[in-house]
Amino acid sequence: MTRVQLRGVGKIYPGRRGSDPVVAVEDVSIDVASGEIHAIIGYSGAGKSTLLRLVNGLEAATSGTILVGDDDITGLPESRLRAVRGKIGMIFQQFNLFHAKTVAKNVEYPLIVAGMPAAERRARVAELLDFVGLGGRAKAYTDQLSGGQKQRVGIARALATNPGVLLADEATSALDPETSREVLRLLSRVNREFGITILLITHEMEVVREIAHRVTVMDDGKAVEQGSVFDVFSNPQAPTSQRFVATALPTTPAEEHLADLRARHRGSLVSVTLRDGGVDQPVIFSTLAARGVSVSIVHGGVTEVGGRSFGRVTLELIGEETAVAEAITALQAEAELEVLS
Ligand code: ADP
Ligand code: MG
């Protein structure tokens, strides 16, 4: 069980040939609890990959401290870093496999480096390949595999030495949506069955929504928002978080779409937010029915976020003008309701 703590971490790259230095990461603090899947999300250039390279000690932070388990890796000499890296697994967008080696040899490689005896290595490789569902492909060469299979090999290799932490940099960004989901399910199993802490970097909101427990949003080197996936998704504060969430969750219709909806629907249009732990849907519908107001859902929906449900629906309300107005007033007292007319 390994927790990862970043305290005021910064990384400045010196400017090349007289150009200004690049502040890639600035004053980032993140607490990743042991056994947690923590996602770091942000646009390209936000500093995500740099942050990950600081955590596995491939690059040195210019400020702050980084603890991986009990090891403070900031300022450790290379000789000591190697031992810490053995406790950290890593997977990549481009898989980074050895093309001239078989699947089994790829997975075996870190065990050879770690000095494990040959008989033990064979047993461990077989066990790992079974776990990732590639038991039958041990002798295949990696370029005979699909992208999803290649990433499974990457995961098996990353797990070979029993790391406490797995770092994933855009691990599913090169895969189609269906394959991406399969790999995410596998990462979820890695987390649940072995208790491995996962620090996952992505620019894809769907990845966060599907498997992460907590999320840090990065923008221009800084951590601009942090919290449980449900809290950040259902009530994003920073503008960057709001832009990301809008791509992954049902929203109120954009202005041009709203004009289109109005042209097709004569009733009053209202948008209601349905939050797990918030107002119950039957309360909304009975409040409307009690006043003889009929309702159609014209936009939006309900989805799963961080294991809870979240929805935003646009409703068309039809009935007596005063009854509709009363129903809206009554609902505004109970629910998060916005009138769109
Ligand atoms: P992300 O992974 O979020 O896309 P990166 O961590 O790769 O972002 O990059 C963050 C910033 O740091 C970018 O402006 C990038 O150009 C810069 N950067 C990354 N690596 C280096 C480097 N080795 N030397 C100089 N600048 C770098
Ligand atoms: Mg990157």
Q: CATH 3.30.70.260 occupies which residues in the chain?
A: 255-339
Report the nearest-CA residue for atom 18 of ligand 1. Answer: 24
Residue 178 one-letter amino acid: E
The region of weakest confidence among 44-53, 103-112, 258-267 is 258-267
At 246 the pLDDT is 86
Model confidence band, residue 129 (pLDDT cutoffs 50, 70, 90): very high
Q: Compute how many other C-beta atoms are within 10 angstroms of the C-beta atom of residue 90.
A: 22
For 276, phi and psi rounded to 5 degrees? Answer: -50, 125
At 29 the pLDDT is 98
Supply the CATH classification number for the domain 255-339.
3.30.70.260
At 116 the pLDDT is 95
Mean pLDDT of 198-211: 92
SS3 215: strand
- What's the predicted TM-score (pTM) here? 0.90
Read off the pLDDT of residues 224-262 as tens digits, 9 standing for 90 and up. Answer: 999 999 999 999 999 999 999 988 888 889 888 999 999
Report the nearest-CA residue for atom 5 of ligand 1. Answer: 47
- Tell me: domain 4-248, CATH 3.40.50.970, correct? no
Mean pLDDT of 76-105: 91
For 331, phi and psi rounded to 5 degrees? Answer: -70, -35
In the chain, what percentage of residues exceed pLDDT 70? Answer: 100
Which ligand lies nearest to the CA atom of residue 168 in the structure?
2
Determine the distance separating the centroid of ligand 1 and the alpha carbon of 54, expressed in angstroms. Answer: 12
Tokens of 171: 């691990």
At 1 the pLDDT is 78
Pairing status of strand 4-13 against strand 71-72: unpaired
pLDDT over 80 (residue 341): no
CB atoms within 5 A of ion ligand 2 belong to 49
Pairing status of strand 165-169 against strand 88-92: parallel
Measured distance CA(26)–CA(59) in Å, rounded: 15
Give 10's contacts (C-beta < 8 A, 6+ positions apart): 23, 25, 26, 27, 28, 61, 62, 63, 64
Model confidence band, residue 279 (pLDDT cutoffs 50, 70, 90): confident
Among 50, 94, 202, which is best to mutate for testing ligand 1, by the most ligand atoms less than 8 A from CB? Answer: 50
Which ligand lies nearest to the CA atom of residue 22 in the structure?
1
Q: CATH 3.40.50.300 occupies which residues in the chain?
A: 4-248
Model confidence band, residue 136 (pLDDT cutoffs 50, 70, 90): very high
With contact defined as beta carbons under 8 Å apart, do 291 and 325 qualify?
Answer: no
At 252 the pLDDT is 87
The region of weakest confidence among 139-143, 165-169, 265-269, 304-308 is 304-308
Q: DSSP for 3-44? A: -EEEEEEEEEEPPSTTPPPEEEEEEEEEEE-TT-EEEEE--T
Read off the pLDDT of residues 3-24 as tens digits, 9 standing for 90 and up. Answer: 999 999 999 999 888 889 999 9
Q: Tell me 102's DSSP state.
A: B
**Which of 138, 99, 144 minimizes the C-alpha distance to 122?**
138
Q: Tell me 64's DSSP state.
A: E
In the chain, what percentage of residues exceed pLDDT 90? Answer: 82
Read off the pLDDT of residues 281-330 as tens digits, 9 standing for 90 and up. Answer: 899 999 999 999 999 999 999 998 888 899 999 999 999 999 999 999 99
